Amino acid sequence: MIATYLPLVPQLILITAGILVMLLEPFTAPGRKGRLGQMAVIASALAAYSLGFQWNSTPRTLFHGMFIVDNFTMFFQWLFLVITAIAALVSIRFNQREEIERGEYYALLLFACSGMSLMAASGDLILTFLAIEILSIATYVLAGFKRSDAHSNESALKYFLLGSFATAFLLYGIALIYGTSGSTNYQVIRDVGTLPGQVQVTAVAGLVLLLVGFGFKAALVPFHAWAPDVYQGAPTPVTAFMTVGPKAAAFAALLRILAQALPAMADDWTRLLWAVSILTMTLGNVVAVLQTDLKRMLAYSAIAHAGYLLIGVVTNTGNGFGAVLFYLVVYTVMNLGALTIVLSLSRQGDKRVNLEDYAGLSRSAPFIAASLSVFLISLAGIPLTGGFLGKFYLFSAAVEAGYIGLAVIGVLNSVVSVYYYFRVMVVMYMREAADNALPPEPISPPVLAIIAIGVAGILWLGVYPADILNLASNSALTLK
Amino acid sequence: MQITHILSWLTYLPAALAAALVFFPGGSARALKWFAVLGSTGVFLLSLYPVYHFDPGYGGMQFVEESAWIQAGGYSISHHLGIDGISLFLVALTTFLTPLALLASWNSIAQRLKGFLICMLLLETGMVGVFCALDLVLFYVFWEVMLIPMYFLIGIWGGEHRIYAAVKFILYTMVGSLLMLVAIIYLFLANGGTTFDLLAVYQNLESGRLVLSHRAEFWLFMAFLIAFAIKVPIFPFHTWLPDAHVEAPTAGSVILAGVLLKMGTYGLLRFCLPLFPAAAVAAAPYLSVLGLVGIVYGALVAMVQPDLKKLVAYSSVSHMGLIIVGMFAFTLQGLEGATMQMLNHGLSTGALFLLVGMIYDRRHTRMIANFGGLAHNSPVLAAFFLVVTLSSIGLPGLNGFVGEVLALVGTFLRNRTYAAIAATGMILGAVYMLWMYQRVFLGKVTDPANAAMGDIRSRDRAVLIPIVIMMLWMGVYSAPFLRRMDASLELVQKRVHDARAPEGGYQVRQLKTPAIRKSDGR
């Protein structure tokens, strides 16, 4: 009996640790809140370890199909735990510097992680909705964690208001789907299949509303308007977390719903997402070109990458879904890496995040400049980095499924992105620092280690991707 | 002596040297320079091994090594290297020019020396890899990776507008190469979706197991063509070239003109012609005309350039045009001439950039108007410059002649008008090069700065002497070179000739065997 619920252990670890952090917070002296951050890291590691026992077990469901236990779930839970651990680790020094050192921060991260994990595991629209709420509420608070900072407040409020709208759309979509299929369970919805006439229209309306909701969560164009402001205003570690974690979670839930619950409507959603994909990558890239604030530039680039990811979803093939999962890993490493460097170099109050502040960085901090270059080269999709192979597999899947036009638009977008990613390298390597420039903040050893591991990881993914690639395609198997 | 994995050694040894440089105890600039120059000279000596052991009678790939690289998710990308008569000398050219370019930069690179040397060595790895790769993805990887060090070379150590030139360079080349990536993926899927191996694609095309519809073949050809046309560059894709050349440091210009441009023509020979022969035949008239436009346009623009480096850059456009015209004649002479011309252009234009760099290091100007009468006080420099100029304009007895004549003969056999127009390129070449020589080196010394310039010393002579020796050798006794190319080029020609028009496809003009037989006495 107990053994049946073993897959819940990681969730329980996360939530228990989160509550524990909250309880210990008042008893931790100011200046030592970093301990709580370390606790969050350890909890994530423990949860990741406990996940290992479930890998490759027979896919099954718990709680009447609510909670799906399969490799897809595991894959994403691992990803989320890594993201959470890194976000917690890089936040410790940052929060001290910004004077927002509070234990609840780490508890919220853990709760957000649990929400994301549930999104990936959910086999029922109701649980999906609840999981999204768990995640969202935690991130609303995290975005506004710099209470004294107007930008952070604006960020939180904007995210909250627009997020609530999105949730409402999502809920309405769920209601319509329920209305046509008579259930919220993915398997049951799938079995109902295509519907005749009038009901079909309602189902399509439900699908569209669902996509609107997820579009908001994953910052897809035209529902992306919140993203740049929120990403820019939030504390940088939260930005790093939000550009990878909730985005990956939204893709996980979206893949599950589309592939497992609504395969009968594939014609409709591939057509819709095809257009959304093109809009998302094009707008993200074109607007990123205009940015001079590095945080904001990476915010738009995050939008663009969601567009690339959608290419894999649109293919509606096992290879395409596998490519999405692989790209999410690669994207997580490179985006977290780049933003970790940005936040480590910045000064209190989000100073020193402008492009000009990076002038001459190759002299003052050669290792950091080289690492950031590797991440940017990978984001641009140049070979020998994970970013290239990620895009390569996405585009391959697209061509294989007959979407050659989509692949061509994807590669042309990559060219645009080369311009703004390489501009950062231009500034770092080809311009000299101004005389009155603030020197970069010295970087703490653990963060330095994370950056080094990130660089090694992105090169490893670019040269020996087989392990992760097989993991990704294995995990995507259950979808098809 | 038997060396296994010689091509891997040639490809990765420079990268290993670059990695060693990272950990090189800093401080001594001399030691760094010696390490890089000697190391890359070692790579050059190593590259003589395949030249020596090459079997001229066999047109296929030699020194082949193959191992699995990425096998996951249903894709198999292999680490497959090999060279034939086309790539053999291009590899040698790369390893030959790299130490010379490094030696020529001995004093001109004062800042960030270590980074410069690392970039040059990584560039060498990328270039050798491009010429050796027999897997489509591996080829693409080298092709793209090579852009990064070149980007830094132009952007960090370049001239005044270096950033503009570097960004323009990378964006132009990226547009082309990314479209090629989509074409590679399509070709892979059309070929059964199991392997990216180039030789397997060749085989399946020959045996008829892989049949491309004429529409697919056209678009694939175009995607590959655009990537290569930008690199060559074929008119009207040439606009990045003058900027990149003028702003790049001497070593960058040498490598850019000497090797990088060849990657474009090499790509045409290796991919566009054998993989999509029907499309290539159909496109030949248009490409030949673009090549001719390039020849004449490049020459005319070169004539009026006030800047030495820009003049040489535009002369490249002109010379590369001849390679295209010769290649798309599809006669053996034309293909031979084109391949020869790749090497010749690499040597003579590389040498011209080296010489211009030497002048610039001494006078800090490249404006032709500022010079005059340099020969009085720099006789050795003037002598070297003259030899290289004559080689560039194709004087008999020097390397340029062999390639140009073969290319022209090859073109003549296909189309006399084309050959006549292409020949004007040789005349115009003589005009702008000799006129430039006259204005720079002859006449009276009008500017005292020119009188004080001083001649080149032993290091610069050491850079130029090997090049001049090669020029003479290739000009007087080109048989060893041509003999090694022939079999491979015949194979390319055969693939093009065998191209039949797909059902309802192109109007493929039947290619007849050239009237003049290749003389055996060569």
Instruction: Give pLDDT tens digits for B107-127.
Output: 888 788 888 999 999 999 999
CA distance B252 to B258: 10
Residue B24 has pLDDT above 80, yes or no: no
Q: Calculate the alpha carbon distances from A383 to A182, A285, A378, B126 in Å.
A: 49, 20, 8, 11
Residue B94 has pLDDT above 90, yes or no: yes
Q: Enter the tokens of residue A271.
A: 């057509």
Q: Is residue A39 part of a domain?
A: no
DSSP-assigned beta bridge partners for residue A293: A354
- Tokens 């990695």 correspond to B19
This model of the complex carries an ipTM of 0.90
CA distance B223 to B218: 9
DSSP-assigned beta bridge partners for residue B70: B77
Q: Calculate the alpha carbon distances from A302 to A200, A306, B348, B392 in Å.
A: 34, 6, 47, 50
The domain total for chain A is 1
Kindly report the backbone phi and psi dihedral angles of residue A68, in degrees, each rounded to the nearest multiple of 5, phi listed first.
-95, 130
Range of the domain at A334: 266-480
pLDDT of residue B289: 93
Q: Is residue A330 part of a domain?
A: yes
**Shortest Cα–Cα distance, A368 to chain B (Å):** 15
| R_g (Cα) of chain B, nearest Å | 22
Residue B501 has pLDDT above 50, yes or no: no
Q: Would you call B75 and A465 a contact, using CB atoms and an 8 Å cutoff?
A: no
Output the CA torsion sign for B238, B244, B247, B251.
negative
The number of beta carbons lying within 10 Å of the beta carbon of residue A165 is 15
**Shortest Cα–Cα distance, A311 to chain B (Å):** 14
Per-residue pLDDT of chain A (480 residues; tens, 9 = 90+): 677 788 888 899 999 999 999 999 888 888 788 888 899 999 999 999 988 887 777 888 888 888 988 889 999 999 999 999 999 998 988 888 888 888 889 999 999 999 999 999 999 999 999 999 999 999 999 998 888 888 888 888 989 998 998 899 999 999 998 988 888 888 888 887 766 667 788 888 999 999 999 999 888 988 888 888 888 888 889 999 999 999 999 999 999 999 988 888 888 899 999 999 999 999 999 999 998 888 889 889 999 999 999 999 999 888 899 999 999 999 999 999 999 998 888 877 667 778 888 888 888 888 889 999 999 999 999 999 999 999 999 999 999 898 999 999 999 999 999 999 998 988 888 888 777 777 777 788 888 999 999 999 999 999 888 888 888 888 888 887
The number of beta carbons lying within 10 Å of the beta carbon of residue B215 is 10
pLDDT of residue B504: 42
Average pLDDT over every residue of B500-516: 47
Q: Would you call B141 and A464 a contact, using CB atoms and an 8 Å cutoff?
A: no
Q: Is residue A334 part of a domain?
A: yes
This prediction's pTM: 0.92
Confidence of residue B26 (pLDDT cuts 50, 70, 90): low
- Eight-state DSSP code of residue A351: B
Q: Would you call B144 and A388 a contact, using CB atoms and an 8 Å cutoff?
A: yes
Average pLDDT over every residue of B34-54: 91
Q: Would you call A377 and B178 a contact, using CB atoms and an 8 Å cutoff?
A: no
- Of B267, B253, B153, the residue nearest B221 (C-alpha): B267
Q: Enter the tokens of residue B463.
A: 């850079």
The residues near A118 (Cβ < 8 Å, ≥ 6 apart) are: A11, A67, A127, A130, A131, A134
What is B385-414 written as a DSSP string?
HHHHHHHHTT-TTSHHHHHHHHHHHHHHHH
pLDDT of residue B505: 42
Asked if residue B326 lies in contact with residue B341, where contact means CB atoms within 8 angstroms, the answer is yes
**Shortest Cα–Cα distance, A427 to chain B (Å):** 10
Q: Would you call B170 and A418 a contact, using CB atoms and an 8 Å cutoff?
A: yes
CA distance A253 to A255: 5
pLDDT of residue B368: 87
* Residue among B113, B138, B148 with most chain A CBs within 10 A, to mutate: B148
pLDDT of residue B518: 46
Confidence of residue B513 (pLDDT cuts 50, 70, 90): very low
Q: Cis omega (within 30 of 0) on the bond before B242?
A: no
| Average pLDDT over chain B, rounded to an integer | 87
* Closest residue of chain B to A401, computed from CA coordinates: B189
B140 interfaces chain A, CB cutoff of 8 Å = yes
- Of B494, B302, B500, the residue nearest B392 (C-alpha): B302
Which stretches within A218-289 are classed as H helix?
Answer: 226-233, 236-255, 266-289
CA distance A406 to A462: 23
Output the CA torsion sign for A28, A29, A30, A33.
negative
- Of A128, A3, A117, A131, the residue nearest A57 (C-alpha): A3
Residue B517 has pLDDT above 80, yes or no: no
Q: Is residue A324 part of a domain?
A: yes
pLDDT of residue B288: 93
B210-252 pLDDT, tens digit per residue, is 888 888 889 999 999 999 999 888 988 888 888 888 888 889 8
Q: Is residue A93 part of a domain?
A: no
Kindly report the backbone phi and psi dihedral angles of residue B113, in degrees, each rounded to the nearest multiple of 5, phi listed first.
-60, -45
Q: Would you call B171 and A426 a contact, using CB atoms and an 8 Å cutoff?
A: no
Q: Is residue A44 part of a domain?
A: no
pLDDT of residue B23: 83
CA atoms within 13 A on the CB side of A479: 33
